[in-house]
Amino acid sequence: MVGMRVLDAPRALVFDMWSDPKHLAQWWGPDGFTTTTSTFDLRPGGVWRFVMHGPDGRDYQNRIVFEEVVRPERIVYRHGGAEDVEPVQFRTTVTFEDLGGKTRLTLHARFPSPEERDRVIRDYGADKGMAQTLSRLADYLASIG
């Protein structure tokens, strides 16, 4: 998990913040950045192309592919493409939880796994996702650190 926040706003409104580039432009970029969207298509297989303009004048091209869109509960997307410089591709699951007027927003990064994953999960009962394993190991790290 990379982030969690309880927001003082109804779930539908929080989901709107993700489904309209106008809203996204208001909060997406890192501090000091602005975001310009060229393509935005929020549905499975749809692409969000945007440029983040850095305070130093540099532009950062970004591409997000949506994999799952369940309004107003969940969005799953993959960041980057083959040309991306990041060493690892990962999927992010955004969950919107209705807390009666408030909304819990949770961000979960999952790492890609090889094709045999399903088989191994079945055969070894190793149904622990990367994130889970990592967080356990991180706990372990903290406990001995």
Partner 1 sequence: MPDPLSTTFAALADPTRRAILARLALGETSVTELAEPFEMSLPAVSKHLKVLERAGLIARGREAQWRPCRISPDGLRPVDDWLESYRRLWNERLDRLETYLQELQAKDKAGTEKKRGPKR
Which are the contacts of 10, defined by CB distance < 8 A and separation ≥ 6? 98, 101, 102, 103
Member of 3, 44, 45, 55 binding partner 1 (CB under 8 A): 3
**What does R_g of the chain's alpha carbons equal in angstroms?**
17
x-or-dash string of contact with partner 1, 68-87, rule CB under 8 A: -------------------x
C-beta atoms surrounding 29 within 10 Å: 20
Closest contact distance (angstroms) between CB of 53 and partner 1 is 15
x-or-dash string of contact with partner 1, 14-53, rule CB under 8 A: x--x-----x--xxx-xx----------------------
Amino acid, res. 129: G
Closest contact distance (angstroms) between CB of 51 and partner 1 is 16
The token duo for 52 is: 């983040």
| Residues contacting partner 1: total by CB under 8 A | 47
C-beta atoms surrounding 69 within 10 Å: 19
Q: Please, what is the end-to-end C-alpha distance for the chain in angstroms? A: 20
Closest to partner 1 by CB, 41 vs 140, is 140
Closest to partner 1 by CB, 57 vs 145, is 145
Q: Facing residues of 98 across strands? A: 103
Counting Cα atoms < 13 Å in the Cβ hemisphere of 34 gives: 5
What residue ranges bind partner 1 (CB under 8 A)? 2-3, 5, 7-14, 17, 23, 26-28, 30-31, 87-88, 98, 101, 105, 107, 109, 111-114, 116-117, 120-121, 123-124, 126, 128, 130, 133-134, 136-138, 140-141, 144-145
